[in-house]
Structure 1
Amino acid sequence: MADAAIIDALRRMGLVGPDEAVRLTPLTGGVSSDIHLVEAAGRRFCVKRALARLKVAAVWEVPLQRNAAEADWLRQVGAWLPSAAPEVLGEDAGLGCFAMSYLPPAENPVWKAELLAGRIDTGFAGRVGQDLAAIHARSAADPTMAGRFAHDATFEAIRIEPYLLATGRAHPALAGRFAALAAATLACRRALVHGDASPKNILTGAQGPVFLDAECAWFGDPAFDLAFCLNHLLLKGARGGADRRGYLAAFSALAEAYRAGIAWEEPAGLEARAAALLPALFLARIDGKSPVEYLTAEAERDAVRRCAVPLVAEPPARLADIAVRWISTP
Structure 2
Amino acid sequence: MAAGLRSMGLLAPGAHARGMPLSGGVSSDIWHVVLPDGRHVCIKRALAKLKVAADWRAPIVRSRYEARWLARAHDAAPHSVPALLGQDEATGTLAMAWLPPEQHPIWKNRLHDGEADAAFAGEVGRGIARIHAYAAARPELAADFPTDSLFHDIRLEPYLIATARAHPDLAPALVGLAARTAATKLTLVHGDVSPKNILVGPDGPIFIDAECAWWGDPAFDLAFCLNHLLLKCLWTPPAAPDFLHCFEVLATAYLACVTWEAPATVEARAASLLPGLFLARVDGKSPVEYLTREEDKDRVRRVARALLSSPPDRLRTVRTAWGEEINA
- TM-score strictly above 0.5: yes
Q: Which runs of 5+ in 1 are unaligned?
A: 1-5
1:75-108 superposed Cα distances (whole Å, 9 cap, x missing partner): 1111221111111111110111111111011000
User: Which of 24, 29, 32 is equivalent to 1:34?
Assistant: 29
* 8 Å Cα contact 1:20/1:40 also seen in 2: no
The residue number in structure 1 matching 2:313 is 317
TM-score (norm 2): 0.97
1:47-69 superposed Cα distances (whole Å, 9 cap, x missing partner): 10000000000000111111110
User: Which of 90, 105, 109 is equivalent to 1:109?
Assistant: 105
The residue number in structure 1 matching 2:8 is 13
* 8 Å Cα contact 2:3/2:91 also seen in 1: no
* 8 Å Cα contact 1:239/1:300 also seen in 2: no
* Partner SS state of residue 17, structure 1: coil
* 8 Å Cα contact 1:163/1:284 also seen in 2: yes
The residue type equivalent to 2:300 in the other structure is V
TM-score (norm 1): 0.97
1:179-214 superposed Cα distances (whole Å, 9 cap, x missing partner): 100100000001110000000000000001100000
The residue type equivalent to 1:39 in the other structure is V
User: Which of 192, 214, 218 is equivalent to 2:214?
Assistant: 218
| CA-CA distance at 1:24 after TM superposition | 2.1
Q: Structure 1 residue 86 and structure 2 residue 82: aligned? A: yes
* Partner SS state of residue 237, structure 1: helix
The residue type equivalent to 1:70 in the other structure is E
User: Which of 244, 247, 254 is equivalent to 1:251?
Assistant: 247
* Partner SS state of residue 256, structure 1: helix
Following the alignment from structure 2 to structure 1, what is the Cα–Cα distance between the partners of residues 235 and 94? 36
Following the alignment from structure 2 to structure 1, what is the Cα–Cα distance between the partners of residues 238 and 145? 39
* 8 Å Cα contact 1:28/1:35 also seen in 2: yes
1:226-272 superposed Cα distances (whole Å, 9 cap, x missing partner): 00000000000023744321100100010000000011001111111
Following the alignment from structure 1 to structure 2, what is the Cα–Cα distance between the partners of residues 21 and 234? 45
* 8 Å Cα contact 1:236/1:242 also seen in 2: no
The residue number in structure 1 matching 2:19 is 24
| CA-CA distance at 1:314 after TM superposition | 1.1
Following the alignment from structure 1 to structure 2, what is the Cα–Cα distance between the partners of residues 68 and 127? 28
The residue type equivalent to 1:191 in the other structure is T
| CA-CA distance at 1:71 after TM superposition | 0.7
Matches within 5 A, 1:37-186: 37-41=32-36, 42-186=38-182
The residue type equivalent to 1:30 in the other structure is G
| CA-CA distance at 1:16 after TM superposition | 1.5
Following the alignment from structure 2 to structure 1, what is the Cα–Cα distance between the partners of residues 215 and 4? 29
* 8 Å Cα contact 2:139/2:187 also seen in 1: no
The residue type equivalent to 1:38 in the other structure is V
| CA-CA distance at 1:288 after TM superposition | 0.3
Following the alignment from structure 2 to structure 1, what is the Cα–Cα distance between the partners of residues 143 and 14? 41
Alpha-carbon spacing, 1:87–1:240, altered in 2? closer, same or farther (3 Å): closer
- Runs of 4 or more, structure 1, over 6 Å off, are none
Pairs aligned (count): 325
* 8 Å Cα contact 1:238/1:304 also seen in 2: no
User: Which of 221, 228, 234 is equivalent to 2:224?
Assistant: 228
Following the alignment from structure 2 to structure 1, what is the Cα–Cα distance between the partners of residues 43 and 316? 40
Following the alignment from structure 1 to structure 2, what is the Cα–Cα distance between the partners of residues 90 and 149? 18
